[in-house]
Structure 1
Amino acid sequence: MLQSAAEGTAGVALVGGDAGIGKTRLVSELVAEARGRGFHVMVGQCAELGDALPYLPLADALRGADPAVCAAASGRPLLGQLLPGTESAPSTGLTQQRLFGSLLGLLAEVQPVLFVIEDLHWADRSTRDLLVFLSRMVQSEQVCVVGTYRTDDLHRRHPLRSVLAELKRLPTVTGVELGPLGTGEMSDYVASLGEVGARELGLIVSRADGNPFYAEELFAALAEGDTLPDGLASLLLSRVEVLSEAGQRVLRAAAVAGRRVEDELLREVSGLPLPEFEEAVREIVSRGLLKVDGYGYAFRHALLQEAVYTDLLPGERTRLHAAFAALLTSPAELAHHHLAGHDLAGALAASVQAGREAERVGAPAEAHSHYDRALGLWDRVADAAELAGASRAALAFRSAVTAAASGDNHRAITQLKALPPTSEVSERLAYYLFETDDDYESAVAAARRAVESAADERSLARALATQARALTHGPRGDELEALAVRALEAARASGARDAEVGAMLTLATYLEQRRGDVARARELAEAASATPTGDLAMDLRARFHHARIHYEQGLLDKAAEVADEGVAMALETGLKWSTYGTDLRFLRFLIHYAAGEWDHAEAVAASFPARPGTASEAVLSSFALFIEVGRGLPGVERRLGWLRPFWSEELVLYMSRGMAAEHALWHGDPAAALEHVHAVLDRLVPGDNGALRVATVGLWALAELGTAEGADELLARARHVLERGLHGEPIHLGPEGVAWGLRAEAEWHRVHGRLDVELWRRVVAAFDFGFVYEAARCRWRLAEALLAAGERDAAQHEWELARETAGKLRAGPFEAALLEFGRRARFGGGRPDGGRPGGGLTAREAEVLRLVAEGLTNREIAERLFIAQKTVSVHVSNILAKLEVSTRTQAAAAARQRGLLT
């Protein structure tokens, strides 16, 4: 709009939004931009004074204007009366028409002009008339008029409503409605305010409801230990206090109900006659405090509900909660109102019932919350076991199981450890300890206790199946097969289908990895997922392993089919954050990624949490880096920053820092890549499968650095996986594992300057069974080896195949590397500048240069890019040398002159 005004097309923008949504910030940015473009800026503010001071924002704008505007205004007597040193309002003899004409003449004289009128919801009648006049009269002048107003202050009889409706029909007027920020945008904004933990961030984002001002207040309050800041509470309550007595009564009742409330329920609790109730609700809705929501009403902002609720007197709050409890039938709502109304016995009974209902409908997180609330009340209620219909131990057990089903295995383990070690408790403890991969010996010990204390055949079958599973990652694998077979026999004899499936899956994994009997493993996995067990978590586990075995053998179509079934089941049953609900989702992503279906992979990754708050969310978030790094998408480093607090989780560390290493390599920073590689390897146990890929990436980094130091150790880590596994015996890896092992050997030779054509052919062939991207990346190395061997035509052929794949995948960094290689090899299609921004700077150096130009120190750059400060120092030295300057200031100036900062 500023550009249009500068070109002689005047316009008016009417910017609406709730208080705190960002109207003032938007206008501030616009004012700064206008001044930068040479505009004369006039900013006036309306005040909550009614019609007592007409033209107040015009007077305010003239008094704060630049000298040119003031000089032009002083030459016009009607406007001059509004300047400092004169009366604050026009004289009684002043006609509105003459004043408007004077203002129009002023705007025409001092063009271009930006005229801002803030808080139009408080505008007096004369100011509203002025806005209508300007909207209709400015046409070809270099004038931009902007008005802001609060939508939440526009009740149905507000005088500005009709004015806005009239003006928005004019061609010169543009309506701009600022809505709440999305969750991702709010997360970014809150993170920009300062350091905040994942849990606190989630709390602020959920409570702020997309409102930046609310978020700022909550962030500040968090630092001071407050719940609802006084300033924010006062702002919110000021809009409640203008309601009629009946309106305030209804709104207080609605606040006790929660964020939403049904119409009939609210009327009953308010106690008002129907006509008076309806008039009160109409008033509340017209003022934007409540909005119609289906068959009832919802608070426009969660914080408004909180402010009204907090403002209630203790007795008033208790009575209203009791009134709602007398009318409700939902156990979850009953539990809430009983507890708030100090009916602890009622709250305990309702909480247990609510937990059972949540379990029944597939909402484990909610079930865990209800059970935990009941457990918290247990010692304060007489006859708690009778009210709950279960013992305290039984309820705590269900709480632990639902915690695990919602993805919180650590919470489940803590709760189970506090219970008497019955067979059932010990079996679940062993099961969850195995899944967290925290303590192998404790898992085995718990499983043994479960077997020894089993009271019947079904319990024994489950305990044996879990004991066999606990041995999967340990040195006593020779015991596993016999235990699994024994568990199968016990499960079939007792009809324990869940134990039977668990034993089948453990046996399938053993046969696949220890014996190399893939065909039998697939048969077992398929049989395990053929019929439901009655245990949803076990059914998901069966589908995951069924899909995983096919994936690791390169049978991607079948793997995709089974994984899709599993993901659908996890979503439908509320178990998407359970161990295998999470695993199935990232496996489905990996199948897309491996098969070269990168558009689908990116779409799936978009559903993964951007800023994780739990370990399960962090696992999924780290997998999104595959596609983001591969395509060179923006936001990789931001995601890495969000994942950093979860690097204590081994899988998150392995995935995120492993992909950070590849990201650094694509950006010309092999030293940083090597730091990430060593950080991962330092945490992985020798023989862990993950070491194979990470060590190979480390060898790639050494080849780029041109040094063989540490290459033998990296190759040894890779060979350890293939030859000795975790416990001194080789693991039968699938085709992908074999391919990575071959690539590690080929990269080790490349580190030592040997480009082995036949070895790279074997690597390409090993990946070329369905792993599209990896096969193409190895063709790149094969092309280099062929070119070095003098087989130019064969090299160009492999290069063209790799380029074709990179183009289809839109793998930007890989494609750029291929173009650079093609330019050097003179295959055609390379960039004339060698793909190097700044005639010699690497991509990482260009990135560092931009941050140097922003004035960041080496330490700040290191934190921003997740690399060592020493690495930054090396990059800065290289930049200074390549730009032929001696200081950072000179480097920034040279970069701007050469256009290197775009």
Structure 2
Amino acid sequence: MNGLLIGRSAELGGLVRVLENALDGRAGVALVGGDAGIGKTRLAAELVAEARRRGLRVMVGQCAELGDALPYLPLADALRDPALAEAVAARPILGRLLDDGSAAASSSGLTQQRLFGSLLGMLSDVQPVLFVIEDLHWADRSTRDLLVFLSRMLQSERVCVVGTYRTDDLHRRHPLRPVLAELKRLPSVTAVELRPLGSGEMSDYVATLGEVGARGLGEIVSRADGNPFYAEELFAAMAEGEALPDSLASLLLSRVELLSEPGQRVLRAAAVAGRRVEDSLLREVSGLPVGEFEEAVREIVSRGLLLVEGYGYAFRHALLQEAVYTDLLPGERTRLHNTFATRLTSPAELAHHHLAGHDLVGALTASAEAGRIAERLGAPAEAHRHYDQVLELWDRVPDAELRAGEPKHVLAMRSAIAAADSGDNHGAIARLRAVPPTPEVQERLANYLSEMDQEDEAIAVAESAVATATEPAVLARALATLARCLAWSHRHAEHEPLAERALATARSAGAADAEASALITLASAAQLRGEWVRAENLFFTAAARTSGNLAIDLRALFNLTRVHYELGRLDKAAEVADRGIALAAETGLSWSTYGTDLRFLRFLIHYVSGQWDDAEAMAAGFPTRVGTVPESVLSSFALFIEVSRGLPGVGERLAWLQPFWPDPLVTYMSRSLAAEHSLWNGDPAAALEHIEAVMDILTPSDPGTLRVAATGLAVLSELGRTEGADELIARARYAASTGPDGERGEMGLEGRAWRLRAEAEWSRALGRTDPDQWREVVEAFSYGFVYEVARSRWRLSEALLATGDRTAAQEEWAQARETAWKLGAVPLATALEEYGRRARFVGATSTGGLTAREVEVLALVAEGLGNREIGERLFIAQKTVSVHVSNILGKLDASTRTQAAAIARKQGLLP
């Protein structure tokens, strides 16, 4: 790679910085773009060499021009590294990529999520890693989805992902364009654009290729237009005494024409194969005797047109392969494609060559099998494309059903399922509407319509499925789907009898998935009525055994965890959540909807039960740099611990979440906690803005209203305002008594506690003092919500002090204070210290003008910890610790850390 760094030092330096960040635990992605021949592969190769020198494991994969025909081709290439054999063997779903897919287990809509999750787990296990994906302009849809997933999910892993692509191939509607635009907005993504080399740089580069006269050098530099590959070809042509053609394609073909006739024959066959081809396959397709074939290949390799690679050959550059392929005559191209088709076994490649060779029968047969394999590999977009290809060819091929191996309506349903799994519910619905309405088709269509909120049509279609189903298992699934569609509609009163019928039918037919679905629907109805024990028992039955459907199994475990949590059975809730999290991790579904929800519930159980170090450790894995609604919901959860502990980074997280505030759940989670953050930081006006924004998006019966109203009433107390207090308590009371369809059943323990908190905060906002009211709140949260018990004791202490019971007030304050410091709830602990100082309670300390975080840092400084140790303890950067320490020294007028600790103890600033 002579002259590789000429003119590319800055670009390589940028890539090395991404690599160094990854080694420091800040995962990153680099996208390297440039015209064909500009030097992207050489730059990537130099980065690979640098990564190996630094001890990183290197994974390299290349996309092929077959594109969507071969899903996950670059990932499969990378996983074939023998060094990864053990890590791949531990995750069978990754192993599927290394065979033809025929041995894979039955597919499901979660297969792609499982694949992505398993890869993320593997990268974490084998880190530090550099993963290079070349030629993204040819990437299939699933590989593009994988790149987006890794770019968003990789956070603190020591992993660097680098992708290269050709900018001159990206026409206006190229599918990579929107992906690049999305990724380049992420701060973890570095974009590197390779410009043409300047004339001086190009002169230096050509000089590294060999001896060339001044005139020849000038001609090469002027003709190459800054493109190193073009310069190499010009140099080679000049060295062979050729006249230099006007275009690069002509130049490349002029070098091909110097080959012997057998050499040209072999190179043309190789061009039809693609960028790479095995030796034995190329020999068979060329039709040459062994000796003549080997002489032809030796000639081609000696001229640098093909490179020896493993057990076959690769074109030295994709531009050469494209030039040779484009130059083929139509009949010649068709014959070669058909010849390859007779010697290949991969259905995806067969489909490609049959179509190019105009063999419609072969194309339909191969496309059907390629679709099934793509489906089992977790490549739904490619499966959908292959199945649609079959359906397009169906009426043009005799005995299509026999050749496809399945009836047309079954393949149409496969195509629809694949479309939905790739995020195209509209396409799935359109496909299913276009085929005969069998009960199976109608049941699936009802599910998709329900997901698209087309409630009335979903119910009508599900009813049709029930009416026409004759097979018991199909009827059970149709009944379960109809019951679920009705449950959240204006006809909700009808859903329970149908769910009971679905349950009985499913048990009789042995349809475990329909049985679990019916149980979950019945349990949800019981919960809404406040029949918590019945709901718990039904969810327990649904989660007791596997249903054969991972999505349903995780849904059952999530709901059982949630009911245990609502009943205050935190230990049981933790046990079931751990079961669900383990199942999600084992199957690669940690980032699926219910995999994520289970992790949040487990986080919440840690938070509520006072295991805050565990909660903070989990929150560290929730993404800050979000780009989708699901990611922003998960990120919002981290605010519980970050706000309550006064951790740095709350502002950054909220800044990332702000663009997603139009989403109701993100607004509810993040802005209600942003209100608490503003309140702790002495800005009740900002807190009120957040509360008003959240209340605007909550429906009147939403139980989340209770917590938000309670916080809003606390804000009004801080502002000394009574205006709006009656409206907030009225909203809270309505939500506590009224469900979506009328009277609300008994609420869970946390809901009941927040109802009492809202009432107590309303009284406080109106200037009323009632210790008994706050005792009720303390008692209500005492089922296990450690933090809220401490916050309620604070208000109880204030109420007791106001009524003259100083002894009881000090006792409640002391208990709240002890809990706050034990939890590391610095904002609450600081507020309690200030309140205790004003009340002149024994043992109260002043904060001396220090912020909550500075008090926390000061306590660790007093223990003798250095900046690095403090940063590790508080999960903050050393630089941030240094800023806090400097502020502490300034505020205490101390010149050393030891002096600051002594002053703090003397002034009673430390708890």
Q: TM-score, normalised by structure 2?
A: 0.59
Q: 1:829 to 1:616 in 2, by over 3 A?
A: same
> Which letter maps to 1:785?
A
**2:439 aligns with one of 397, 400, 423:** 423
The correspondence of residues 17-96 of structure 1 with structure 2, limited to 5 A, is 21=11, 23=13
Aligned equivalents of 1:825, 1:394: Cα separation in 2? 76
C-alpha deviation, 1:370, in angstroms: 1.6
**1:558 aligns with one of 549, 567, 572:** 572
Question: 2:406 aligns to what?
Answer: 390
Q: 1:507 to 1:155 in 2, by over 3 A?
A: closer
**1:533 aligns with one of 547, 558, 567:** 547
Q: Does 1:374 align with 2:374?
A: no
8 Å Cα contact 1:17-1:152 kept in structure 2? no
> Which letter maps to 1:374?
Y
- Secondary structure, in 3 states, of the residue corresponding to 2:756? helix
8 Å Cα contact 1:723-1:729 kept in structure 2? yes
Question: 2:180 aligns to what?
Answer: 203
Aligned equivalents of 1:603, 1:510: Cα separation in 2? 35
C-alpha deviation, 1:723, in angstroms: 0.7
Q: 1:375 to 1:184 in 2, by over 3 A?
A: closer
> Which letter maps to 1:756?
D
> Which letter maps to 1:203?
L
**1:214 aligns with one of 171, 176, 192:** 192
Unaligned runs of at least 5 residues, structure 2 = 18-38, 54-127, 133-149, 162-174, 196-223, 237-254, 257-263, 855-911
C-alpha deviation, 1:743, in angstroms: 1.4
Q: Does 1:763 align with 2:777?
A: yes
C-alpha deviation, 1:415, in angstroms: 5.5
Once the two structures are superposed, residues 528-557 of structure 1 have per-residue CA deviations (whole angstroms, 9 ceiling, x without a partner) of: 122222222222222222222112212222
The correspondence of residues 795-874 of structure 1 with structure 2, limited to 5 A, is 795-826=809-840, 828-833=844-849, 835=851
8 Å Cα contact 2:646-2:852 kept in structure 1? no
Q: 1:818 to 1:235 in 2, by over 3 A?
A: farther
Aligned equivalents of 1:736, 1:155: Cα separation in 2? 54
C-alpha deviation, 1:507, in angstroms: 1.4
Question: 2:145 aligns to what?
Answer: none
Q: Does 1:492 align with 2:507?
A: yes
Q: Does 1:730 align with 2:744?
A: yes
Q: 1:306 to 1:429 in 2, by over 3 A?
A: farther
Aligned equivalents of 1:635, 1:241: Cα separation in 2? 53
Aligned equivalents of 1:797, 1:260: Cα separation in 2? 78
Q: Does 1:715 align with 2:729?
A: yes
8 Å Cα contact 1:180-1:211 kept in structure 2? no
**2:710 aligns with one of 696, 704, 720:** 696
> Which letter maps to 2:500?
V
> Which letter maps to 1:353?
E
8 Å Cα contact 2:702-2:735 kept in structure 1? yes
- Secondary structure, in 3 states, of the residue corresponding to 2:743? coil
C-alpha deviation, 1:579, in angstroms: 4.1
Q: Does 1:480 align with 2:495?
A: yes
- Secondary structure, in 3 states, of the residue corresponding to 2:762? helix
> Which letter maps to 2:711?
V
Unaligned runs of at least 5 residues, structure 1 = 1-14, 28-120, 122-148, 162-176, 191-197, 218-231, 839-902
**1:790 aligns with one of 804, 820, 838:** 804
C-alpha deviation, 1:559, in angstroms: 1.8
Aligned equivalents of 1:380, 1:799: Cα separation in 2? 78
C-alpha deviation, 1:328, in angstroms: 5.8
Aligned equivalents of 1:796, 1:265: Cα separation in 2? 87
> Which letter maps to 1:714?
L
C-alpha deviation, 1:735, in angstroms: 0.6
Question: 1:133 aligns to what?
Answer: none
Once the two structures are superposed, residues 114-139 of structure 1 have per-residue CA deviations (whole angstroms, 9 ceiling, x without a partner) of: xxxxxxx9xxxxxxxxxxxxxxxxxx
Q: 1:518 to 1:492 in 2, by over 3 A?
A: same
**1:457 aligns with one of 468, 472, 486:** 472
Question: 2:56 aligns to what?
Answer: none
8 Å Cα contact 2:271-2:322 kept in structure 1? no
- Secondary structure, in 3 states, of the residue corresponding to 2:804? coil
Aligned equivalents of 1:278, 1:740: Cα separation in 2? 82
Aligned equivalents of 2:710, 2:275: Cα separation in 1? 53
Question: 2:900 aligns to what?
Answer: none
Q: TM-score, normalised by structure 1?
A: 0.59
Give the alignment's Cα RMSD to 1 decimal. 5.5
8 Å Cα contact 2:671-2:694 kept in structure 1? yes
> Which letter maps to 2:464?
R
- Secondary structure, in 3 states, of the residue corresponding to 1:212? strand
Aligned equivalents of 1:798, 1:489: Cα separation in 2? 54
Q: 1:332 to 1:807 in 2, by over 3 A?
A: farther
Aligned equivalents of 1:242, 1:801: Cα separation in 2? 83
Q: Does 1:569 align with 2:580?
A: no
The correspondence of residues 220-299 of structure 1 with structure 2, limited to 5 A, is 237=229
> Which letter maps to 1:455?
T
Once the two structures are superposed, residues 647-699 of structure 1 have per-residue CA deviations (whole angstroms, 9 ceiling, x without a partner) of: 45433333233333333333333333333333333333221223232333322
C-alpha deviation, 1:375, in angstroms: 1.5
Q: 1:421 to 1:667 in 2, by over 3 A?
A: farther
8 Å Cα contact 1:431-1:443 kept in structure 2? yes
Q: 1:484 to 1:26 in 2, by over 3 A?
A: closer
Aligned equivalents of 2:836, 2:489: Cα separation in 1? 48
8 Å Cα contact 2:268-2:328 kept in structure 1? no
Aligned equivalents of 1:583, 1:691: Cα separation in 2? 21
Q: 1:503 to 1:811 in 2, by over 3 A?
A: same
> Which letter maps to 2:392?
D
- Secondary structure, in 3 states, of the residue corresponding to 1:830? coil
Question: 1:598 aligns to what?
Answer: 612
Q: Does 1:546 align with 2:560?
A: yes
- Secondary structure, in 3 states, of the residue corresponding to 1:214? strand
8 Å Cα contact 2:459-2:485 kept in structure 1? yes
Aligned equivalents of 2:313, 2:677: Cα separation in 1? 49
Q: 1:151 to 1:491 in 2, by over 3 A?
A: closer
> Which letter maps to 1:768?
S
Q: 1:297 to 1:573 in 2, by over 3 A?
A: farther
C-alpha deviation, 1:178, in angstroms: 14
Q: 1:609 to 1:680 in 2, by over 3 A?
A: same
> Which letter maps to 1:682?
D
> Which letter maps to 1:688?
D
Once the two structures are superposed, residues 704-762 of structure 1 have per-residue CA deviations (whole angstroms, 9 ceiling, x without a partner) of: 33222222222222222221111111133211111111111122222212343222222
Aligned equivalents of 1:284, 1:825: Cα separation in 2? 87
Question: 1:705 aligns to what?
Answer: 719
Aligned equivalents of 1:305, 1:805: Cα separation in 2? 67
8 Å Cα contact 1:21-1:211 kept in structure 2? no
The correspondence of residues 578-657 of structure 1 with structure 2, limited to 5 A, is 578-657=592-671
The correspondence of residues 107-186 of structure 1 with structure 2, limited to 5 A, is 152=45, 183=151
8 Å Cα contact 1:349-1:374 kept in structure 2? no
Aligned equivalents of 1:215, 1:204: Cα separation in 2? 14
Q: 1:655 to 1:430 in 2, by over 3 A?
A: farther
Structure of higher RCO (CA pairs closer than 8 Å, 6+ residues apart): 2
